[in-house]
Each structure stands twice: as structure tokens, then as C-alpha cells.
Amino acid sequence: MHFPTILKQPMARAAILALAACHASQALAHTSYILPNFFVASTESYVTLQSAFAEELFHPEVAVDANDFHVILPDGSRGEFEAIGKHRQLVILESPLLQDGTYRFTTGVRRGRMSKSALIDGQWKPVQGDKAPAGATRFKTSQTETVADVYVTKKGPTRAPVDRQIGRLVIQPVTHPSEVALDSNLKLKVLFDGKPLDGQTVVLDRGGAEYGEAKVHREVKTSADGSLDLKFDKPGVYLLMTRHKADAPTGSETDERSYTTSLTFEVQP
């Protein structure tokens, strides 16, 4: 697995992509991710990861400008990355693997751009600039909030990093993410403020799918208890993503927030 570092686009493109992500559909919007150079370690003492926003999976386009990149150690305590290198299209992160067990690498909660919408003829439409559009009857403001996670296990899995919840919109693995294979399903729950989301859309994509006969892309919905039971017919590196809009917490700068959470994981042969 390699980390592309060639910067092909000017910095202006980063701003355009970040703005577009606020308004794109669930299937098409740019999604943040964290990708390690391996998922299972034995004797390795370091892991290197990249983090970016991408529309085509794992092809970095805009660096994730998070202020709370951190590590959840195998015992469930918080740790910090040893090195964080920020570039235009991606962030490179390095972390030691001093303990045996599962490490959770996360962007932490990242708040993004704020936007405004107007209700016109019964539909909410984005507002550009400060001028009120004709026919607008109501206005609301929104801000994005994202979390991206990945797990790496050294020698044997531990549960504490998996069970720790980060942010309001949570992808909660029931199956340990380091134990997903073609002969075993991935079971998980989607929670918001600790409560299950019924009928929540979850998007599943596979890295490298552009080289296959058909692109691997699925959209599935959670059951009443917020659960999903996923089976795979191909090994590889996958990304789960889900989005949910809700009223912003009291005292926030905007009326609502658009939450996006993603999980990168490997399906072993």
C-alpha cells in the first residue's frame, strides 16, 4: 500500500472541494478517512498512516485539517501521534506500537465549514453570500462535524479502544474490526448520542475497486436497534461512512450540524 504525495492541484481546489462536500449527496460527497500502511502487526514498532478527504476512495484530494488527531491505546487510554506532517492533499501521521493489542487512530471530532440555507418554495436551498435570495421565507445555519477512525492490532486484539465512543454519531463495531474475514461477518451498530438510529443509511466502498470489473459500492440501512450485519465476497480495504443531520447543541454557532463518521477496515482472505 503506498501513499501518493504528488500535489497535482492548486490550493484553490482544496477550498472548492471542502465547500462542495457540504452540499453533495451521501453517495458522492468527499469523505474523510485514515489509512494505515498495515492493519495487523507482529514485530513492527511503528505504523504510518495518511488522512485526507477523497471522493474516489483512498485517492487523497484535500488534507484533513483536524486539531485533535490522537490515538486510543490498547488499554483504552489516550495517546498522541509522535509525528504529524501536514501537506496540501493529505496528512502523514506516525505512531509507535509499544504495547501489544489494538490501537485506534482517529481524527477526533473535527468541525468544518459553516453554511446557510433558505426555505424557498418549500425547499431548503444553499445561500451564497449575505444577500437574501428572492422568495426566502426562513433561514437556517449549519456546520459540518466529522470523525474518521481506523484500528491496527499488534499480536492480538483488545476491546477497550473499540468500545470508546468519539463524537455524537458513532459507528460502534460489535465484531472486532481486526477480526473481519471472508468467512466472518462484520456486525456493528450506528448510534447518535448513545441511542440507535433506525433506518440509517450506511455507505460501503472498497479501495482499489476501480481496477475490478465492477465498482464495489453498497448502501444499506440499519435495523430498528441500529444494527447492521455485513458479509463480504472479496478481501481488501473497505470504508464505512454514514451521515446524519440534527439540531446543534445548545450554545452552538449554528442551528444544526451535519455529522459524518467513517471507519476504515480490512477484510482478510
Kindly state the cell numbers that stand for 212. 475490478
126 lies in a domain?
Answer: yes
Residue 252 lies in a domain: yes
The Cα–Cα gap between 243 and 250 comes to 21
SS3 of the chain: helix, strand, coil, percent, to 5: 10, 50, 45
Instruction: Tell me what pLDDT residue 7 has.
Output: 34
Which 3 state secondary structure label does DSSP give 122?
coil
Within-domain flag for 2: no
Residue 83 lies in a domain: yes
**How far from each other are the two terminal CA atoms of the chain, in whole angstroms?**
16
Q: How many domains does the chain have?
A: 1
Residue 19 lies in a domain: yes
Domain hosting residue 92, numbered range: 11-267
Measured distance CA(77)–CA(90) in Å, rounded:
27
Q: Give dist(CA 248, CA 4) in Å, integer.
A: 36
pLDDT of residue 182: 94
**DSSP-derived secondary structure for 44-86:** --EEEEEEEEESSTT---EE---S--EEE-TTS-EE--SEEEE
Q: Does some domain include residue 121?
A: yes
The answer as to whether 255 is a domain residue is yes
Q: Is residue 130 part of a domain?
A: yes
Kindly state the helix (H) or strand (E) to which residue 161 belongs, with its residue range: helix 160-163
Sign of CA dihedral 56, 213, 179, 1: negative
Question: Hey, what long-range contacts does 113-121 have (CB within 8 A, 24 or more apart)?
Answer: 113/18, 113/19, 113/22, 113/143, 113/144, 114/141, 114/142, 114/143, 114/253, 114/254, 115/22, 115/23, 115/141, 115/142, 115/143, 116/140, 116/141, 116/142, 117/141, 117/142
Mean pLDDT by 10 residues, the chain (269 residues): 37 39 48 97 97 94 96 98 97 98 98 88 83 82 96 98 97 98 95 98 89 78 98 95 96 95 97
